[in-house]
Amino acid sequence: MPKEIRSVLIIANTGKTGANELAEEISGVLRKRDIRVQTFLYAGVAHEVPQKDGHDLAITLGGDGTVLFASRALAGHFIPILPVNLGDFGFISEVAHDEWFPAFESFVAGEITAGPRLVLEVCVIRDGSELCSFRGLNDAVVSSEGISRMVRLNVRLTDQPIGRYRADGVIVATPTGSTAYSAAAGGPILHPEMSAMILNPICPFTLSHRPIVLPEDEEIIITVDPAQRSSVALTVDGQSLTPLQPSDTVHVKASDRRAYIIRSNRRTFYEVLRNKLKWSGDPDD
């Protein structure tokens, strides 16, 4: 079904080559179509988008980090995100910089849609009170702040303990984040629009500890062992870092909000996997 686009939010990482120029180009094209445009430019650490309501579409210009930022900021606002890749890798941002207009027109015509992506809600509890909270599109990681320091973590699910881990840390990843840090740590790759979470220990001392795929209605509770001595930290999407103390608990669950990311009509998720990960062999064999 065709879509009426009246207002577009452009989120551009000016640390990426060509971001300013492409933002101006897109803005000019859209304004000629009588579409309102708001442009949010940032470099380095992104701050909160000042105006999130009233937009029919968001276009991100940057790499996957820009999409992660936009997804956290816009989760729950039902604003589809067209991710244009100006970075080197681009698992989430599948649309090349010279493909933005055909992708935009295909979305407006109803030929491609925005798929829902699970978002994590993460909070830290210290001494019975909430210390801080975050959203994440990729993952939440509890790990040592030092190099090659093993940590002790107790992990339980909603209503039962699941294990005590001696490891470099623990990753809780979304399907979108299954191709990121979790994959590097030996976790499974999930289709990004699935409704599930991955619990993945990082280099566990006990080799029988394996990654687990969990339904989205589970809550994962990670407690720093009271006897833990070396420094431990929580990172969310690799962009928010919180030092943890012994006995702190990190609660991770699926948010009731979703991010909506427009699928490319030039390539499928599996083609992106095959090309980005350089899988060998002919898929037609």
pLDDT per residue, tens digit, the chain (285 aa), is: 788 999 999 999 999 999 999 999 999 999 999 999 999 999 877 777 777 788 999 999 998 889 999 998 898 889 999 999 987 656 777 788 888 999 999 999 999 889 999 999 999 999 999 999 999 999 999 998 876 678 999 999 998 999 899 999 999 999 999 999 999 999 999 999 999 999 999 988 887 789 999 999 999 999 999 989 889 999 999 888 899 999 999 999 999 999 999 987 777 777 777 777 777 655 554
* Per annotation, catalytic residue among 34, 64, 127, 256: 64
Annotated domain spans of the chain = 7-113+263-276, 119-256
Q: What is the 3-state secondary structure (H, E, C) of the chain?
A: CCCCCCEEEEEEECCCCCHHHHHHHHHHHHHHCCCEEEEEEECCCCCCCCCCCCCCEEEEEECHHHHHHHHHHHCCCCCEEEEEECCCCCCCCCEEHHHHHHHHHHHHCCCCCEEEEEEEEEEEEECCEEEEEEEECCEEEEEECCCCCCEEEEEECCCCEEEEEEECEEEEECCHHHHCHHHHCCCCCCCCCCCEEEEEEECCCCCCCCCEEEECCCEEEEEECCCCCCCEEEEECCCEEEEECCCCEEEEEEEEEEEEEECCCCCCHHHHHHHHCCCCCCCCC
Residue 98 annotated among the catalytic residues of the structure: no
Tell the CATH topology of 7-113+263-276.
Rossmann fold (3.40.50)
* Arch. (CATH architecture) of 119-256: Sandwich (2.60)
